[in-house]
Amino acid sequence: MYDVTVIGAGVVGALIARRLAAYDLRICIVDKENDVARGATAANSAIVHAGFDAKEGSMKARMNVRGSRMMEQVCAELGVSYKRNGSLVVAFEHERAEVEAIYRRGVQNGVEGLRIVEKEELFEMEPNLNPELSCALYAPTGAIVCPYGLTIAAVGNAMDNGAELVLNFEVVSIEKTAEGYTLTAADGRAVETRYLINSAGVYSDEIAKMLGDESFSVHPRRGEYMLLDKECGQTTTCTIFHTPTKMGKGVLVSPTVHGNLIVGPTATDMEDKTDTATTTEGFADIRAKAGDNVAGIPYGKVITSFCGLRSVGSTGDFIIKAENNAVLLGGIESPGLSSSPAIAEYVEELLRGMGLVLTPKADYNPNRAPMDAFRHMSVAEKNEMIQKDSRYGRIICRCEEVTEGEMVAAIHANPPAYDVDAVKRRTRGGMGRCQGGFCSPEVIRILAREWGVSYDAITKNGGGSYINKGRTKVAGGNKEGN
């Protein structure tokens, strides 16, 4: 019997679990995937919004402004890349009134340091903008973060402090018991818990239904992106938004914490909660809209494209409800990432309100070593590591210069990595310009060795995403694997 079980290891569930791990509780995190951070958290703009977007007085506004203030500290403790690069909402002359309105809303929401910058200063800050632009709202507190890095680190830190992670556990039914709840997974496994957190993202309405709450629904809204080579990472310094229209926040152009350039997202309402395909129309749309903000983006340098699904809730605001020893989180669309530390803090209060006793753990450690520690060491420190473990001297991913030592450490650290994408997200191995062309055969070999399984048992990202299918004739017959 767990004290608290969190359904969904996205950034929201991860930060809740990590916050609760500071207390004397038995905590379980379940997720239907083979790794954490596979939902919306894996594919979004990665911006810590300053907090000027959301309507005054809304949950979104409250959580965003608070979350944005907490984020830097959370990232520092968890060793996660975070950079306060500032945000600019750029406008053409005819959109000036809009920019002024956002400025006023931001001030109302309590966002610090906002000001309007005029053309000359704007182009001094960002020389690559579309020359037709005339002014912008500047938000110095806007920041960028690595969303899946944050989630992996938060789950890892929760686990280091005793929480348990159960993967490939797709909750299909929930039964109310005398002491709490029994969750049953698609494969029949069960987890018993006193308190329950529903942070299942775009599926949170379905989990709510299992709990008998049909008061809200969530539908997916697709957002497609293109990611460009690090060569282009200096195109802009700030995150560049365009003045929002009725169609939404529009397409942004931003550096990422890893030094790439991200351009997107589109916004298309969907029905299928699993459809994260990119589209030709989407790519065209991104190019057309990004051109309003930034001139001459070199699309020839795209290294990958991807797509995430926003959880659009039926109320238009974040839905955070506490009932029957369960906390339900629905409609956590943007600025959900920015808000996540504040949501975790709020959920803690809600649990306390429902009678959960929170006794601080004596040996709680809020810190986690950065996943890229080796990369930032001095030559002497690196050589000391290589002396101790020579695998730190063997480069596996040549584009991102990731060593075997770093990969093995990432595979076994909390939360463990079982597939190729999991190693990639933790170490950046395979994320560079060749996109794993050279190193994936090596990474598979390392994973197979570390987990003691066959080469073709290793998947791209769990489930049926196998990479190889049986042996070649020469190597041992023509039987199909898997």
Partner 1 sequence: MQNYVDKTAPYTALVVIGGGPAGMAAAVAAYDNGVRDMVILERDLNAGGILRQCIHNGFGLHRFGEELTGPEYADRYHKMVVERGIAVKTGATVLDVTPSEEEGVAAYVTAISEAEGMFTLRAGAVVLAMGCRERSKGALNIAGTRPAGIYSAGTAQRFVNMEGYMPGRKVVILGSGDIGLIMARRMTLEGAEVKAVCELMPYSGGLARNITQCLDDFGIPLMLSHTVTQIHGKERLTGVTVSKVDERRRPIPGSEIYFECDTLLLSVGLIPENELTRGAHIGMDGITGGATVDQYRQTSLKGVFACGNVLHVHDLVDYVSEEAALAGSSAAAHLRGELTEGRAITLKTDGKVRYTVPQAVTVTGNTADVTVYFRPSDIYRDVTVTVREGGADGAILSKKKRIKVAPGEMETITIKAADLTATTADTLLVSIEESAKKGGNA
Ligand X SMILES: Cc1cc2nc3c(=O)[nH]c(=O)nc-3n(C[C@H](O)[C@H](O)[C@H](O)COP(=O)(O)OP(=O)(O)OC[C@H]3O[C@@H](n4cnc5c(N)ncnc54)[C@H](O)[C@@H]3O)c2cc1C
Binding site for ligand X (CB under 6 A): 7-13, 30-33, 38-41, 44-47, 49, 169-171, 199-203, 207, 223, 265, 308-310, 332-338
Q: Is the dihedral of CA 226, 145, 198, 347 positive or negative?
A: negative
Q: Should residue 273 be labelled a site residue for partner 1 when binding is judged by CB under 8 A?
A: no
Query: Would you tell me how many other CB atoms lie within 10 Å of the CB of residue 182?
Result: 15
User: Cβ contacts of residue 448 below 8 Å, gap of 6+?
Assistant: 454, 455, 457, 458
**From the list ligand X, partner 1, none, partner contacted by residue 44 (C-beta under 5 to 8 A by kind):** ligand X
Ranked by CB distance to ligand X, the top (closest) residue is 336
Helix (H, G, I), strand (E, B) or coil at 361: coil
User: Cβ contacts of residue 375 below 8 Å, gap of 6+?
Assistant: 401, 406
Q: Should residue 163 be labelled a site residue for partner 1 when binding is judged by CB under 8 A?
A: no
What is the DSSP track for 127-161?
TTB-TT--EEEEETT-EEE-HHHHHHHHHHHHHHT
Site map 431..470 versus partner 1, x via CB under 8 A: --xxxxxx-xx--xx---------xx--xxx-xxxxxxxx
Q: Should residue 282 be labelled a site residue for partner 1 when binding is judged by CB under 8 A?
A: yes
CA distance 7 to 4: 10
β-bridge pairing 326-330 and 190-198? parallel
Q: Which of 49, 219, 258, 412 is catalytic?
A: 49
Q: Should residue 276 be labelled a site residue for partner 1 when binding is judged by CB under 8 A?
A: yes
Among 107, 190, 277, 357, binds partner 1 (CB under 8 A): 277
Beta bridge partners of 310: 221
Instruction: Quote the least distance from Cβ 185 to partner 1, whole Å.
Output: 18
Angle at 81 between CA 79 and CA 87, to 5 degrees: 140
**From the list partner 1, ligand X, none, partner contacted by residue 86 (C-beta under 5 to 8 A by kind):** none
Instruction: Quote the least distance from Cβ 129 to partner 1, whole Å.
Output: 24
Q: Report how far apart, in Å, the C-alpha atoms of 311 and of each of 41, 84, 103, 205, 414 are.
A: 11, 26, 27, 10, 28
β-bridge pairing 27-30 and 164-166? parallel
Instruction: Quote the least distance from Cβ 256 to ligand X, whole Å.
Output: 11
**From the list partner 1, ligand X, none, partner contacted by residue 429 (C-beta under 5 to 8 A by kind):** none
- The helix (run of H) or strand (run of E) holding residue 225 is strand 218-228
Site map 349..388 versus partner 1, x via CB under 8 A: -----------------------------xx--xx--xx-
Instruction: Quote the least distance from Cβ 230 to partner 1, whole Å.
Output: 10
CB 140 within 8 A of CB 51: no
Three-class DSSP labels, 394-413: CEEECCCCEEHHHHHHHHHC
Q: Which residue has the tokens 């997974």?
A: 185
Residue 416 per-residue DSSP state:
P
323 or 456, CB closer to partner 1? 456
Instruction: Quote the least distance from Cβ 247 to ligand X, whole Å.
Output: 14
**From the list ligand X, partner 1, none, partner contacted by residue 163 (C-beta under 5 to 8 A by kind):** none
Respond yes or no: is residue 49 known to be catalytic: yes
**From the list ligand X, partner 1, none, partner contacted by residue 9 (C-beta under 5 to 8 A by kind):** ligand X
Site map 191..230 versus partner 1, x via CB under 8 A: -----------------------------------xx---
Instruction: Quote the least distance from Cβ 46 to ligand X, whole Å.
Output: 6
User: Cβ contacts of residue 450 below 8 Å, gap of 6+?
Assistant: 408, 411, 412
What are the φ/ψ torsions at residue 88 (nearest 5 degrees)? Answer: -125, 130
Q: Should residue 298 be labelled a site residue for partner 1 when binding is judged by CB under 8 A?
A: no
Catalytic positions, please? 49
Interface contacts to partner 1, rule CB under 8 A:
226-227, 274, 276-280, 282-283, 299-300, 302-306, 378-379, 382-383, 386-387, 390-391, 393-395, 398-399, 401, 403, 433-438, 440-441, 444-445, 455-456, 459-461, 463-476, 478, 480-481
